[in-house]
Structure 1
Amino acid sequence: MPKQDKATPAGIAKGAVPMVELWRGDRLESVHQGHAVVMRADGEIVESWGRPDVVIYPRSSCKMVQALPLVESGAAKGLAASQLALACASHQASAAHVQMVTRWLADLGLSDDGLRCGAAPPGDQAERDRLICTHAEPCQSHHECSGKHAGFLTLNRHLGGGSEYVDPDHPVQRSVRAAFEEVTGQTSPGYGIDGCSAPNFATELQGLGLAMARYATAKDTAGDSRNRAMAQLRDAMMAHPDMVAGHAKACTNLMRAANGRAAVKTGAEAVFVAMLPKQGLGIALKIADGGIRASEAAMTGLLQRYGAIDPADPVVAQYLGPLRNRRNLVVGDTRLAAGFA
């Protein structure tokens, strides 16, 4: 299997276009450049900015693809929709997230030691406070990717693989790579190791957008097992946005505002994807400098542009619009750059 992708940072910056601007007073203070593409499931590019052929690591934005073999294989039989959403999650490690992972592992006859994502402090303040007050250490179930890893372990039991399921040559990761290449329509040029120790396969941005369009158009009531599996994962994300991220997080907030019109997922280094079932469209974007504030603003703008979020919804102001200081004074604003969205 090919190893690490040889793409350079300059490759990400080349051809990037202004997408998000930060203004303070009447002066432009910062500009974030990037790439974005809107795709149909037949491969048509509806709109693009920058280079749709730029090669990226999708990072956590592709977790619904990493979960595809879990559902398609039948290994997920008996799992609740909330568990499927958690398998696609970058969660905050709230009590609800951690308890679901812990119960899931117990149902597999495993403990926290079976995970290979590593321990991480929880993002959820209440859970962090609980650990401090009880003098407890964070465990692997607190890792934001522990739901995805519980899914990997469930698939691994079905496949009969060894315990090191994050090894790129393990049957779990071979099945993930095969699914990833099939739904993106591209042979991956290589992989990098993600923060959770699993391989993350590179692809062109338009390949990621194509995968999202295929998820957007999938039907749970017809078609082959892959089509049904994609629909189940997409619908689980929309039905349980709290499991996909958590309160005050962009994925959860934007999906709540979309109210069934979009499933969205962010990834590290400012990758963001969306599936729009009504329009049958997939969206993928990458901010060249890795600025998460810009990817959240850009995705908010695109969701408005394609009718998935009402521009008057209060959630929009969290990512686009006036900037306020600690005294609640308006000191500037976040804008989409001219020519984008």
Structure 2
Amino acid sequence: MLKAKFACKRASALLSSPISSSETVRVFVGEECREFVLSKKALSSTSEYFADRLDASSVNFVQRNAQLNTLWLEELCPEMFELFAYWLDERGGFQGFIDEAEANDCCEDLQWDLITLHLFAARIGLDALQDAAMDGIQDIYLRLDWDITPKFVSQIYAECDPVDSYRLRKWIVAMAAWSLGGCVEKIGTADKMGALFQACPEFWHDYVAHLSKSSKSKIKLAFKNPQLRLPSNNLRNDERQFGFRQCSFHTHRSSVGQGRCPHAFSLSPSYPYPPVQRPESPLTEEDSDLELGSITGKALVASPRTAIFDLYLDLD
């Protein structure tokens, strides 16, 4: 994984500004027990996952709302947690990590750390971090012009919870449609993609559902690049032909519509210029999304083969 290649970024895990020791917690992560020193307040406020683990009320009967000074998180990946610690301190994107990974020829390692971070954020209900990690994954693929690999697809579809990974699945299907040009008939069982569809029937089901929905629009999937995250949610028709909305793969995709991304000032932009702002226009039929709140996670877990993309996947 990343190991010492990102030593300059690891300083963020030791806090960017001095805080008294009573307000910090030492977090030991993974089997190697890598140490991170973080703000208790910042950590506990991010998620119940951390608030519950910091709670010392069961061992401290004198001080109310007491918190532990040390946490042991052996089940987590240190490289993933390094990205989390950076985000906790900076609340920004991961462009600096991508730059350094490219310079050190370890972008594949960073990719898997971002995937792990995305899934971890989904599991603990940290939407902003989930979106930041998703942006980072897109940015790596755009920077290096990567295509999805069978290893990536099979790991997400065969090993990951369908609820935690549904935005990754959404993006994978869009990537497959772009690579194959929205084709079904020419896919053979002998080629790699055909074999992958056979090995992951849910992937095939989601792909066909995506093609069915996209057939109602005039968008040519062969030109619509899921790596390309345009700096706005309010796109002209010509822009929609080649890239995806800024929030197409974010947790708030349905609620934000064509408005400004809630992370516009905290996440690193896809481009060095500010988001394009245009007058709001009515949503077309192909732009519409089902509200995220209209289906429960329980329903998805109970039926893992539910066509997630029938519910969530928009064309942009």
With normalisation by structure 2, the TM-score equals: 0.29
Bigger fraction of residues in strand: 1
Highest CA radius of gyration, 1 or 2? 2
